[in-house]
C-alpha cells in the first residue's frame, strides 16, 4: 500500500487539501467538486502517511448513513478497517460522549433520548399543569421555542424576557421543562448538544483528555452547523488541534432550523492562519446540468462566489414537462423511470425529489399502480405519517366502533381531558367484559362507573364519533373526511404546531382530502369509506421496499443533501410550491429556497427531469400555478420542453381516471382542443353535465379560461 493510491485519484487542489500540513483547513467549494471525497482521502492520508492513530480522528457527517459510507470508503482505500475512530453526526457523537461521562454531565446513568413526539407530549403536560390555555401557548410553539434556545446555547436562566408577560411565561415553561427532564432522566436532541458543550466548559479535565485525544477533527457540510455545534467544535479544537472543514455556502439549507452560514466566515476569523482551498472542477454532472445549477444560483446576492466547471460532455438537455395536473405529472415521471429501466438503469439509480412531503402521495400511488418498488428516504410514507394515521383512525372508528386500535389512538387526540387513569379503567372493563373499548365505555356510562368529569369527556367523545359515523353515511367520502377533520379538531390541532413541521402536517391533511376526492374503489365493496380505509391500510403496509430490493428513491430536497444519482426527477417546480409560498413572505427565505434548488439540480449525474402541474389540488383547493421562477433562471439552451403525448406512449385518455371524467361533452381531460377565437389549448377540467357542462381550457396564448360547453364549439385537434 503506498501513497499513490490515496493521491492519484485526485486533482491538484484536492491533493493540496488532502496533504495540507496547516492546522486549520477550509475547503470551500461547489456541489460535486469532491469535498466529501477530500475528507475521506484526508483521513486515509493521516492514517497511512502521517501515521496518526485512528483514535485521534473524529469526523462529523450530516447523517448516520453518511457516517457509514465514510467508514466503508476509508476501509476500501486502506484495505483495513481502522479501529477507534469516531465518525458520526453531531448528535451521535455528543450522545456517545455523554454516555461515558453521565455523572460529570449531571445525568442519570441510563438517561433516555426524548424524540420529538415524546418531547411534544411532555411539553403539553407542562402547559396543562400550569393551567395555561393551549390556544395561547401552543405546545408546538413551546417546543420550537425551547429547541431554538438550546440551539443557540441558552438555558432558561439565560433567556431575557424583557419583562414581557408572554415571554416570561414561556421562560417559566422552559425552566419547568428542564426540571421535568432532569427528574425523569430524559434528554432531547438539542439537549445532547448543549450538555456536551457544557461538559467541555465545566469539566476542564475531561475537555483536556479529549483535546489530547482528538488531534484531528474533520467536518462535512460545514455550512449547516448551528451555533452550539460550532461552539462545541471550537472548544474541542482549542488552539492546538488540527481541524479540516468542507462546505458550500450555496448549499446552506437549514437556516430555518438555526444553521448559520456565517460560521464559514467565522471559521477563518477564529482559527488563525486557515488555509482556504477552493475546488472548482465538478465531477458529478454533465455540462448542461452544471450550467443550469450555476445560472440559478447566480441570482442570489451576497455569495462567497466560486466557479464550477466540468470537462464532462454537455449531455442531454434538461427535460421540462408540464403536466396538466399532478396525476399526469406522476404518470410522466413513472413512464420515464420505466423507460430508463428498459435502458438498463437500476431503479436505485433514479431518485424523485420534491419540496414538500405531501407531494409524495400522488407519486407513490402511481408507482404502486405500476408495480415499481420505491423507498422513501429519511421520511415516512404518506399513510404512515402521524397526522394521517390520526384522521384515518377517526374514520375507522366511525365506520366500526369496536376498532380498539383506532379508539386508543384518538380517545385523547386532540387532548380532551381523558387521562390515562380513565383509559385504564376503560381497558380494564373491556378486559373483564371481554368486549371492545367502545362497549366498555357504554357500560361504564350506563352505570356512571367513572368520575363526573371523565364521564362527560367520554360521553363527548362518543357523541363526536357518532356524528362522524352519521356524516360518513350521509355525505360523499370527501365531504365526510372534511367533516371529520373539522369536527375532531385535528386540522386546528396540527395547524397550531409551529414551523415547517406544522405546515407539513396541515399540507398532508389537505392532501388526504385530495386522496378521498380522487378515490375510485377498484373493488365492488359497497361502502366507499370501507374501500378507502382498506386501500389506506394496504398502502401503509409493507409495500415499502426493504433495504435490499432495488427501488426508486423518493425524498425531500432537504434529505437529498450530499447524495448523487444518475437520474433525478425534480417534481413540482412551480411557483408557491417551490419556491414555497411561505418563503415569499419572510426575508432571506427565497434565497434559501434557491439554494435548495441548487442542491436539487446538482444531485443529478447524467439526466435531470423537471416537472410541474398546470393545475394541482393543494391545500384542498384547485390551484393554477405557473412554472417556478427557478426554471426560468435556467438558460434556454439547457432546457428542452417535452410535450404531452410525445413521451407517453399509452393513450392518455385510457389512463385518466379523474373524478370528473365521464361527462357527455365528448371531450377528455388533457385533450388538445381548438377554439375559434382563443386558438389551441388543453382541457384542464370538466364540470357539470349536458348543457350545464363547463370546461376549463388552458389556451396556449390566452391562458386558462372556463367556457360553457354548449357555446364553446370546441373541436378536438
Residues with active-site annotation: 35-36, 220-221, 251, 603
Residue 498 CB, nearest distance to ligand ATP (Å)?
30
Applying CB under 6 A, does 14 fall inside the site for ligand ATP?
A: yes
Query: Considering beta carbons, is residue 29 or 597 the nearer one to Mg ion?
Result: 29
For ligand ATP, the closer of residues 34 and 670 by Cβ is 34
The piece of 35-43, 76-84, 120-128, 352-360 that touches Mg ion (CB under 5 A) is 35-43
Interaction residues for ligand ATP, span 283-302 (CB under 6 A): 283-284
Instruction: Please check whether residue 47 is in contact with residue 78, taking contact to mean a CB–CB distance below 8 angstroms.
Output: yes
Nearest to 692, CA basis, from 668, 673, 664: 664
Confirm if 465 and 474 have CB atoms less than 8 A apart: no
Residue 34 engages ligand ATP in binding (rule: CB under 6 A): yes
Closer residue to ligand ATP (CB): 11 or 75: 11
**By CB under 6 A, is residue 256 in contact with ligand ATP?**
no
Q: Is 502 in the site for Mg ion (CB under 5 A)?
A: no
244 binds Mg ion (CB under 5 A): no
- Residues with Cβ within 8 Å of 20's Cβ and at least 6 positions away in sequence, in order, are 244, 275, 277
- The Cα–Cα gap between 329 and 336 comes to 11
Residue 283 interacting partner from ligand ATP, Mg ion, none (CB closer than 5 to 8 Å by kind)? ligand ATP
Q: What distance in Å separates the CA atoms of residue 274 and residue 248, rounded to the nearest whole number?
A: 16
The grid coordinates of residue 72 equal 466503508
User: Taking CB under 6 A as the criterion, which residues in 134-163 touch ligand ATP?
Assistant: none
Q: Report helix, strand and coil shares of the chain as percent, to nearest 5.
A: 50, 15, 35
Task: Figure out which of the listed residues 315, 562, 600, 620 binds Mg ion, where binding follows CB under 5 A.
Answer: 562
Binding residues among 223-252 for ligand ATP as defined by CB under 6 A? 248, 251
Report the half-sphere exposure of 438 (CA within 13 A, side-chain side): 20
Distances (CA, A) of 222 to 25, 32, 601, 668: 12, 15, 20, 52
* 11 forms part of the interface with ligand ATP (CB under 6 A): yes
The set of cell numbers assigned to 676 is 375559434
From 6, 18, 23, 36, residue interacting with ligand ATP (rule: CB under 6 A): 36
Please, what is the Cα angle at 553 between 550 and 559, to 5 degrees?
A: 145
**β 242-247/275-279 pair status:** unpaired
Interacting partner of 607 out of ligand ATP, Mg ion, none (Cβ under 5 to 8 A depending on kind): none
Residues 531 and 399: their CA atoms lie apart, in Å, by 11
Cβ–Cβ contacts within 10 Å for residue 77, how many? 19
Nearer Cβ to ligand ATP (198/312): 312
Binding mask 593-612 for ligand ATP (x = CB under 6 A): ---------x----------
Within positions 378 to 417, which residues make up the interface with ligand ATP, using CB under 6 A? none
| CB 251, min distance to ligand ATP, A | 6
Residues 6+ apart with CB under 8 A from 626: 574, 575
Q: What is the separation, in whole angstroms, between the first and last Cα of the chain?
A: 69
Query: Is 9 or 666 the residue whose CB approaches ligand ATP more closely?
Result: 9
Contacting range for Mg ion; rule: CB under 5 A; set: 365-373, 557-565, 627-635, 697-705? 557-565
Q: Return residues touching ligand ATP (CB under 6 A).
A: 9-11, 14, 29, 31-37, 248, 251, 283-284, 562, 564, 602
Q: Return residues touching Mg ion (CB under 5 A).
A: 35-36, 562
Amino acid at each position: 500500500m503506498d501513497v499513490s493510491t490515496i493521491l492519484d485519484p485526485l486533482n491538484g487542489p484536492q491533493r493540496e487539501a488532502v496533504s495540507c500540513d496547516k492546522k486549520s483547513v477550509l475547503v470551500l467549494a461547489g456541489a460535486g467538486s469532491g469535498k466529501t471525497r477530500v475528507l475521506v482521502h484526508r483521513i486515509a492520508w493521516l492514517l497511512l502517511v502521517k501515521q496518526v492513530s485512528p483514535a485521534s480522528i473524529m469526523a462529523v457527517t450530516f447523517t448516520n448513513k453518511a457516517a457509514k459510507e465514510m467508514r466503508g470508503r476509508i476501509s476500501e482505500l486502506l484495505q483495513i478497517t481502522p479501529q477507534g475512530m469516531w465518525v458520526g453526526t453531531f448528535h451521535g457523537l455528543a450522545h456517545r460522549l455523554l454516555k461515558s461521562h453521565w455523572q460529570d454531565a449531571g445525568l442519570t446513568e441510563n438517561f433516555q433520548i426524548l424524540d420529538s413526539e415524546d418531547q411534544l407530549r411532555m411539553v403539553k403536560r407542562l402547559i396543562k399543569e400550569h393551567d395555561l390555555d393551549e390556544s395561547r401557548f401552543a405546545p408546538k410553539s413551546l417546543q420550537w421555542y425551547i429547541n431554538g434556545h438550546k440551539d443557540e446555547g441558552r438555558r432558561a436562566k439565560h433567556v431575557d424576557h424583557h419583562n414581557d408577560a408572554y415571554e416570561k411565561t414561556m421562560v417559566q415553561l422552559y425552566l419547568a421543562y428542564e426540571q421535568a427532564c432532569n427528574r425523569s432522566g430524559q434528554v432531547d436532541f438539542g439537549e445532547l448538544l448543549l450538555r456536551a458543550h457544557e461538559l467541555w466548559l465545566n469539566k476542564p479535565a475531561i475537555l483536556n483528555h479529549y483535546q489530547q485525544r482528538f488531534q484531528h477533527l474533520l467536518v462535512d457540510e460545514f455550512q449547516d452547523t448551528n451555533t452550539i455545534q460550532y461552539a462545541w467544535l471550537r472548544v474541542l479544537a482549542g488552539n492546538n488541534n488540527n481541524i479540516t472543514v468542507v462546505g458550500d455556502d450555496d448549499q446552506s439549507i437549514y437556516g430555518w432550523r438555526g444553521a448559520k452560514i456565517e460560521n464559514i466566515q467565522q471559521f477563518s476569523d477564529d482559527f488563525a492562519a486557515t488555509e482556504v482551498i477552493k475546488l472548482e472542477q465538478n465531477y458529478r454532472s454533465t455540462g448542461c446540468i452544471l450550467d443550469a445549477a450555476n445560472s440559478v444560483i447566480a441570482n442570489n446576492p451576497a455569495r462567497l462566489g466560486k466557479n464550477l466547471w466540468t470537462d464532462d460532455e454537455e449531455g442531454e438537455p434538461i427535460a421540462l414537462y408540464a403536466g396538466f395536473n399532478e396525476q399526469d405529472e406522476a404518470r410522466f415521471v413513472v413512464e420515464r423511470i420505466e423507460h430508463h429501466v428498459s435502458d438498463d438503469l437500476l431503479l436505485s439509480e433514479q431518485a424523485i425529489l420534491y419540496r414538500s412531503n405531501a407531494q409524495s402521495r400522488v407519486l407513490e400511488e402511481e408507482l404502486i399502480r405500476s408495480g415499481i418498488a420505491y423507498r422513501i428516504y429519511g421520511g415516512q410514507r404518506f399513510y404512515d405519517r402521524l397526522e394521517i394515521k390520526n384522521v384515518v383512525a377517526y374514520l375507522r372508528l366511525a365506520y366500526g366502533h369496536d376498532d380498539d386500535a383506532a379508539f386508543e389512538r384518538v380517545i385523547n387526540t386532540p387532548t380532551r381531558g381523558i387521562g390515562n387513569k380513565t383509559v385504564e379503567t376503560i381497558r380494564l372493563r373491556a378486559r373483564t367484559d371481554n368486549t371492545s373499548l367502545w362497549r366498555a365505555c357504554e357500560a361504564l356510562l350506563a352505570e356512571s362507573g367513572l368520575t363526573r368529569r371523565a364521564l362527560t369527556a367520554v360521553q363527548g367523545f362518543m357523541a363526536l364519533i357518532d356524528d362522524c359515523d352519521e356524516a360518513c353515511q350521509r355525505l360523499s367520502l370527501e365531504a365526510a373526511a372534511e367533516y371529520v377533520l373539522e369536527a375532531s379538531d385535528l386540522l386546528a390541532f396540527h395547524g397550531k404546531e409551529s414551523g415547517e413541521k406544522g405546515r407539513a402536517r396541515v399540507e398532508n391533511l389537505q392532501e388526504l382530502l385530495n386522496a378521498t376526492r380522487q378515490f375510485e374503489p377498484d373493488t365492488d365493496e359497497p361502502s366507499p369509506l370501507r374501500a378507502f380505509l382498506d386501500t389506506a391500510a394496504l398502502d401503509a403496509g409493507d409495500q415499502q421496499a426493504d433495504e435490499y430490493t432495488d427501488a426508486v428513491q423518493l425524498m425531500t430536497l432537504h434529505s437529498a443533501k450530499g447524495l448523487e444519482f444518475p437520474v433525478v426527477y425534480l417534481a413540482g417546480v412551480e411557483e408557491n410550491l417551490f419556491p414555497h409560498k411561505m418563503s415569499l413572505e419572510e426575508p432571506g427565505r427565497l434565497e434559501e429556497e434557491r439554494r435548495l434548488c441548487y442542491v436539487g439540480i446538482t444531485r443529478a449525474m447524467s439526466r435531470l427531469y423537471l416537472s410541474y402541474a398546470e393545475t394541482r389540488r393543494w391545500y384542498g383547493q384547485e390551484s393554477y400555478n405557473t412554472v417556478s421562477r427557478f426554471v426560468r433562471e435556467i438558460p434556454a439552451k439547457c432546457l428542452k420542453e417535452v410535450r404531452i403525448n410525445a413521451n407517453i406512449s399509452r393513450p392518455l385518455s385510457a389512463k385518466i381516471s379523474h373524478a370528473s371524467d365521464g361527462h357527455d361533452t365528448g371531450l377528455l381531460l388533457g385533450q388538445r382542443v381548438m377554439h375559434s377565437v382563443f386558438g389551441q389549448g388543453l382541457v384542464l377540467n370538466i364540470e357539470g353535465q349536458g348543457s350545464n357542462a363547463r370546461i376549463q381550457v388552458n389556451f396556449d396564448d390566452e391562458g386558462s379560461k372556463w367556457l360553457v360547453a354548449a357555446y364553446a364549439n370546441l373541436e378536438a385537434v
